[in-house]
Amino acid sequence: MDLGQISEYCYNLTNSYLEITNQSQVIADTQDAIRLTKRYFLQDIFPRWSPLSSEISFSYNGGKDCQVLLLLYLGCIWEFFLNSLQDTQYDRQYHKYPLRSLPTVFIDQEETFATMEDFVASTSERYCLSLYESLRGDGRKLSMPEAFELYLKSHSETKAIVIGIRYTDPYAADLKTIQPTDADWPDFLRLQPLLHWKLSNIWSFLLFSNEPICGIYGMGFTSVGSIKNTLPNPHLNVDRTGKPSLLFQWEIAHAFGKAEGQHDQVNVSKVSRKDLALLKGSNGKYLPGWYLTDDSLERAGRIKSC
């Protein structure tokens, strides 16, 4: 699929989720969350910075939150494109989608799981991302502000960057949908239209999407940082959970475009051998990440630095 096709696909996926009726409270809440995110993009953001130019970039690290936001963003860009055609006299078939790839930035900040790196590469192709990966400088990994400073030097047309941060993330409780960066960061606008999403909304939409999900989540991870500070979430250890209950059975069984006979399968990416070897060391077996829906426990697999 080219960028126009995957954008149209995400538009149809989002509409399909919004059309679900008579399902769980989680689905109804997630539909509200989607409508608000769409409003932010289509009414507040796109009239100021066109997503069809290079004024907006997307910050992407393969995590579940920015993947959900990316699916919504692509769908909204398609809707914006369709709306822009209404004002012209020519038929839609005569209009080419003006973008070939989506400006995206990935900061190679810390040593991360090979599965996650593979996932960033494979989804970059799937979603037609033009992925900028930050340079490591003189053997040293750059801090996030340093890396964005360099990015802006080579992408000076960038005015704003989309971020998949949520209110429940550390230090995020007072963030705004649109706000400038802090004084110790390079100067640009932060676009944060996912702030109001809860963990259960993320899993509900992602599992329904039937898009590939990074394999590391299938191993009991719920929030992924560096190899050195991230373990599977202890609250998903099967010795601790007892009889597991899954909130998203319906989403998995009725996932978008799912082939017959695949009803219980979740579309997770392959876990790298390196990570399988690494995980042998962690005690016990874990349920997949989507069994955890308590936002306050999302980062319980992180080892705190002293």
Site string for ligand FAD, 131-160 (x = CB under 6 A): -------------x----------------
Could you give the angle at the alpha carbon of 48 between the alpha carbons of 44 and 54, nearest 5°? Answer: 120
For ligand FAD, the closer CB: 169 or 275: 169
Residue of this chain nearest to Mg ion (CB atom) = 65
CB of 89 to Mg ion, least distance (A): 44
163 contributes a contact to ligand FAD by CB under 6 A = yes
| Binding region for ligand FAD (CB under 6 A) out of 61-69, 79-87, 94-102, 236-244 | 61-69
Compute the distance between CA of residue 224 and CA of residue 232 in angstroms, rounded to an integer: 9
181 contributes a contact to ligand FAD by CB under 6 A = yes
Q: Which does 120 bind (CB under 5 to 8 A by kind): Mg ion, ligand FAD, none?
A: none
| Binding region for Mg ion (CB under 5 A) out of 7-15, 60-68, 212-220, 254-262 | 60-68
65 contributes a contact to Mg ion by CB under 5 A = yes
| Binding region for Mg ion (CB under 5 A) out of 40-48, 63-71, 142-150, 285-293 | 63-71
- Choose, by CB under 6 A, the member of 26, 77, 128, 165 that binds ligand FAD: 165
Residue of this chain nearest to ligand FAD (CB atom) = 164
Site string for ligand FAD, 89-108 (x = CB under 6 A): ----------------xxx-
| Binding region for ligand FAD (CB under 6 A) out of 41-49, 182-190, 205-213, 232-240 | 182-190
- Choose, by CB under 6 A, the member of 12, 16, 109, 267 that binds ligand FAD: 109
The radius of gyration of the chain's CA atoms, rounded to the nearest angstrom, is: 19
Residues that bind ligand FAD (CB under 6 A): 59-61, 63, 65-66, 105-107, 109, 144, 161, 163-165, 169-170, 181-182, 185, 190
Contacts with Mg ion by CB under 5 A lie at 65
